Amino acid sequence: MLRHYDRLGLVRPTGRTVGNYREYSAEDIRRIFHVESLRSLGLSLRQIASALEDPGFTPAALVGDLIRWTEERLEREQELLQRLRAVDATAPSDWADVLRIVELMHGLDSPDAARRQQAVMAPAEDVPVPVELLAGAVLAEADTNVAGALRWALARAGEDGLDSLAVGARSPDVEIRRRAVAAIAGLPGDAATTVLADALGDLDSTVRGNAALALGQRGVTSAVPVLVGMVVAGFKDVDAAEALALLSPACEEQIIAALVSALASAEADTAVRIRLTQALVELPGPAALSVLQSLARDEDRSVALVASAFVELRTDSQRRADRRGEELP
């Protein structure tokens, strides 16, 4: 290395010994240490020469470039590491297996959505799709159809991809959080439920709402406030009302109290109060019917008409059920 520095003129010895060995002074040694220090930051020898020889050389711009280049290199290496781990997860027995996995990766990375979907739905023969690869793909997938195929494949794999999806659910990127929660909603198990419950506090209403709908299907009553909020906001309000109906056997009083409170808060908003009235219709039992009967006398005529119609339907349904009961032996 010292001979190379000498040839480049980067560090030249002060003199030579009688035996023609290079002789370095204390100043030469300091320069060698300077060169090595700058090399450790990733500077090329040409950049180091400019830094040491040019009195007007300013390091700030170069250091900024070095930071950017290093970040890009680390990103490429992280992608390579993920690919290697995906290949390793399939326990390939020979290079043919490795090549089939690489082909699958290329399919998932294709700019063509149809090609990506085909890679998920019809992978190469005898090649299991690595779950971590699926999880990473679903977090990056913007196409609705491909994302659906990826979620389907992940759901078939069980909880294995949950760790990667849970990281996505905490991403600063709201789109990634939305994709993560949509995928986690299809996974079984208590661990997935825990991640969904954490998502109820997300700042994004779509993330909160999709988490609440999934939790409603799982019987988790902590989703009730978010579900009622969805009815108020008109975001997937029909789905939210159905989820509340599923939860009603476990917490009927809580749900009705939340809906009644929301009705009072939305006193001047007819559309909101009609949606809340429709949500009450989904709830079985006399308590919800009692609230509907009260709303049938509401000062807002539109609300009163909707509530009256639903009360009549409920009453007729009950009469028919009673008659069928009487006819039974």
For 206-258, give the DSSP string: HHHHHHHHHHHHTT-GGGHHHHHHHHHHTSSHHHHHHHHHHHHHHHHHHHHHH
Note the helical H segments in the chain: 2-8, 26-40, 45-53, 59-89, 95-108, 113-121, 131-140, 144-156, 162-169, 174-184, 190-199, 205-217, 224-233, 237-265, 270-281, 286-295, 301-327
Q: Taking the CA atoms of 254, 257, 262 and 265 in sequence, report the sign of the dihedral they define.
A: negative
Structure tokens at 295: 């709303």
Which residues are registered as beta bridge partners of 22?
A: 16
The residue assigned the tokens 């700058």 is: 38
Q: Name 82's Cβ contacts closer than 8 Å, sequence gap at least 6.
A: 132, 133, 136
And the tokens for 190? 């208590």
Alpha carbons 192 and 195: distance in angstroms, whole number: 5
Which two three-digit tokens encode residue 290?
A: 């009692």
Into which CATH architecture does domain 1-54 fall? Orthogonal Bundle (1.10)
Closest C-alpha to 308, from 287, 280, 328, 284:
280
Q: What's the half-sphere exposure (Cβ side, CA atoms, 13 Å) at 115?
A: 10
- The whole-angstrom separation of Cα 77 and Cα 181 is 28
Task: Say what the pLDDT of residue 213 is.
Answer: 97
What pLDDT is stored for residue 257 in this prediction?
A: 95
Coil, strand, or helix at residue 66?
helix
Which regions of the chain are under pLDDT 50? 326-329
- What pLDDT does residue 124 have? 53
Q: How many CA within 13 A on the CB side of residue 140?
A: 13
Tell me the whole-structure pTM to 2 decimals: 0.71
Extract the tokens encoding 181. Answer: 């929660």
Under a CB-based contact definition with an 8 Å cutoff, are residues 108 and 137 in contact?
A: yes
* 225 within 8 A of 243, measured Cβ to Cβ: no
Phi, psi of 304 (to 5 degrees): -60, -40
**Burial of 45: CB neighbours in 10 Å, binned 0-12, 13-18, 19+:** middle
> What does the CA dihedral 187, 182, 271, 247 come to, rounded to 10 degrees?
10
Q: Where are the domain boundaries for CATH 1.10.1660.10 in the chain?
A: 1-54
Per-residue pLDDT reduced to its tens digit, 269-315:
999 999 999 999 989 888 999 999 999 999 999 999 999 998 988 77
